[in-house]
Structure 1
C-alpha cells in the first residue's frame, strides 16, 4: 500500500468536533485502526429487475463472517505513528466456500481461508497481541460502524466475549463528515479528499487498517484553518454539485467504497 501526498484537499468546518476528538483520544496511549474483510456476494452484471429479484445471493447479509482481520497500532504519544500491525485470515463457518465475487473483490484465495483458524482462535491471538497495551489504555476505530457490529455478531456466534469493547470504539467515518461538514465518504474517497493519492490494493484488511490511520493522523494534526483546493469529491458543496466519474454523489459502489 502506498499513499502519496498531493496538492489539494477539503478543509475543517467544525473545529469544536475536532477538539472533542482530540480530547477523547488523549485519554489512552494506544489507538487501534481496525478493518475486516468478510464473506460476501453480489448480483451478476447485466440482470434486469425480474432476474435480479429471482437471483438468490450465496451469502446473505446476516451470513457474512470475517475472513481477514487487519489492525494498525498507533502510538498517540508519538503523534499517531504506526508502531505495530496485526493481521490474520479467518476460516468462515457458515459459508466456508468463498464466492467468485468475494475473491475478486479482496484478492483473498480459498486456500488462504481453508488453512486459517476459526474466529475464536484468531480472537485469542489478538488478545495475546493486545495484552501488553492494556496497562496504558487503548481505544479502537474503524471506517464506519460495520466492523464493530460484525465483531460483536461473530463473538456471539462463537460463544466468546467481545474482545474489542464496543464502548471503546470510534467511528472515524462519522468523525470525518462531522469535522468537514460533508456527506459520508468511503475510505478511499476520504483519503483522496484530504490531499492523498491511494495506490495499492483496496479491500484488504491489513492494507485498509493501515490506510485508516492515515486520515486519522492527518486530521488530528491539523492546526489553524486547512484551506486548500477543492478535492474531486466537491459534490458536498450545495451550490456546485458535481457527479464524479465514480458516482460518489449518489453513494453508488465504486472507487469511493
Structure 2
C-alpha cells in the first residue's frame, strides 16, 4: 500500500501490576511523521491524556509521568481527534510490536469513539521486521532498548515516554529502510532458531508449546491433533515467520504429542491454583 506518510507511534498506559477495577487507560501518546519519498522526519506529535482513574504509582515509577502532568491534560476524546488530524487519511502506522494497536482500540471502544483505520495493510510491526530481517543481530525478539544498542544508535530521551519511544523506533525504522527492503517478507532460518544438531532445541519446544496454547485458546477446547494443528491459522502464521524444511516439520511432529501433554498439565495446575485461591462461600 502506498501512503503519504509513515506514522511511527507509541502509547503509555495508566496500569497496575495487580488485579484492579480501574481501567488501564492511555495517558501518553507520541508519534513521528516520516515522508516516504525522502525518508525524513517531517513532524512530531505528543500529548498527555487525562485518565478517568487516579494515576498509579507504578505508572509514575515506570514512565516518570506525574499526577500534575495529566491533571490538566485533555481527555482521550480530544487527544484522539488531534491524533487523527496529525496522521491524516493516507498513512501506514509503524509500531514496536502489536500491543499499541490493541491499547488504542480498547480506549476507542471504552469511550465509544471510532478508531483510526488500523487494518492489516495500514500496519507495520517493526519489532517483528527487524527480528526476521536481522537474524544475525537478534537470536531472540529484541526489546526497543536492545535494538537501539545493537544497531549502534544513541538512545533519545526518556525510556517509556511515548514520544521518546516513538523517536527511537523511528530511528531504527529509518536505518532498516536504508539497509533492507521494507516490502520483503523476510523469514528466519529454521536451523538457527529451532534445530540443533538435527533435533528440536529447547527453544523450539517452548515455541511449539506456545503455539499449542494459542490454538487451544482459540478453539476453547483441549482437543487438538497434529493434523488439525497443521490446518490452523496459528500454524499458517508460524510458516509466514519461519522457513520450515521437511526435517524441521518432522521434528515438530515428533514432539507434538509430548508438548500437548505438557500444555494440558500446565493448564490443570493453573486451574487447581485458581480454585485453591478462591475463597469458600
Query: 1:204: how far off?
Result: 0.4
Query: 1:200: how far off?
Result: 3.4
Instruction: Name which structure has the greater RCO, CA cutoff 8 Å, separation 6+.
Output: 1
Residue number in structure 2 paired with 1:213: 170
Whether the aligned pair in 1 keeps the contact of 2:6 and 2:35 (CA below 8 Å) is yes
Partner Cα separation in structure 2 for residue 64 and residue 223 of structure 1: 36
Residue number in structure 2 paired with 1:83: 42
- 1:165 is the counterpart of 2:118: yes
Partner Cα separation in structure 1 for residue 36 and residue 109 of structure 2: 31
Whether the aligned pair in 1 keeps the contact of 2:156 and 2:164 (CA below 8 Å) is no
Whether the aligned pair in 2 keeps the contact of 1:148 and 1:166 (CA below 8 Å) is no
Partner Cα separation in structure 1 for residue 28 and residue 165 of structure 2: 11
Which structure 1 residue ranges, 4+ long, deviate > 6 Å from structure 2?
A: none
Residue number in structure 1 paired with 2:75: 118
Of 10, 33, 37, the residue aligned with 1:73 is 33
Partner Cα separation in structure 2 for residue 210 and residue 222 of structure 1: 19
Residue number in structure 2 paired with 1:103: 60
Deviations 1:51-81 (A, max 9, x none): xxxxx45577xx3111000000011111x21
Query: 1:165: how far off?
Result: 2.1
Residue number in structure 2 paired with 1:92: 51
Gaps of 5+ in 1: 1-23, 43-55, 225-235, 240-257
Counterparts in 2 of 1:177 and 1:59: CA distance versus 1, 3 Å:
farther
Whether the aligned pair in 1 keeps the contact of 2:133 and 2:180 (CA below 8 Å) is no
Query: 1:40: how far off?
Result: 1.9
- 1:147 is the counterpart of 2:100: yes
Deviations 1:165-206 (A, max 9, x none): 233111111111111123211111111111123253100001
Counterparts in 2 of 1:172 and 1:156: CA distance versus 1, 3 Å:
same
Q: Report the aligned-residue RMSD.
A: 2.5
Q: How many residues align?
A: 182
Structure holding more helix per residue = 2
Partner Cα separation in structure 1 for residue 147 and residue 56 of structure 2: 28
Residue number in structure 2 paired with 1:200: 157
Which has the greater radius of gyration?
2
Whether the aligned pair in 2 keeps the contact of 1:74 and 1:84 (CA below 8 Å) is yes
TM-score (norm 2): 0.59
Gaps of 5+ in 2: 182-192, 197-281
